[in-house]
Amino acid sequence: MDQAKVTGPAGTGASQAEIETWLAQLELSPESNLIEVLQAVQERFGYLPPAALREISRRTKTPLSRVYGVVSFYAQFYTEPRGRHTIRCCRGTACHVKGASRVLDAVQRALGVTEGETTPDLKFYLETVACLGTCFLAPAMMIDNQYFGRLTPQRVVSILRSYGLEQ
Ligand code: FES
């Protein structure tokens, strides 16, 4: 059996045995609500490790292809570890005309990742969005639930440092 560690966003690892033990507590059955189970697993491990998906499939007697189908249908689920902090840089029109691409460049350079990636230390996950709904703050970004606006490349770096960027 594969005992390789899987790593969650907070840097905690879980072996396949730990995943199995934890899932056993959920007392899964074919009647289990698959979406609720996936949400619980993602909350526990920070993402959906493949070992957990296989185990869910086995315990709920749901074809693995169907489990993956549900995971890929809902944007809330992800199968790769994500950073502890999620950064959402806006690439909408209002932000674009106010220099959003320079802001995004600065974030990418500071973190050493591009959108859709997590930093190797699992501190940050970077993505772009079409509009954050705060166009009056353009150019804007969010870190977790916090909005930041009227950004400049310099300001972005100091904000990231306040979230633990080491540079
Ligand atoms: S376009 Fe950036 S917040 Fe709306």
User: Over the stretch 10-69, which tens digit does the pLDDT of each residue have?
Assistant: 444 578 888 999 999 999 999 999 999 999 998 888 889 999 999 999 999 999 999 999
Of ligand 1's atoms, which has the minimum distance to the CA of residue 139? 2
Q: Are residues 63 and 110 in the same domain?
A: no
Confidence band for 82, pLDDT divided at 50, 70 and 90: confident
- Tell which one of 135, 147, 151 to mutate to probe ligand 1, the residue whose CB is within 8 A of the most ligand atoms: 135
- Is residue 79 a part of any domain in this protein? no
pTM of the model: 0.70
Q: Are residues 67 and 119 in the same domain?
A: no
d(Cα 117, Cα 108) in Å, to the nearest integer?
10
Q: H/E element holding 128?
A: strand 124-129
Our count of domains for the chain comes to 2
* Res 13: pLDDT: 59
Domain boundary among 73, 103, 124: 73
Of ligand 1's atoms, which has the minimum distance to the CA of residue 92? 1
- Is residue 1 a part of any domain in this protein? no
How many angstroms does the Cα of residue 56 sit away from the middle of ligand 1? 39
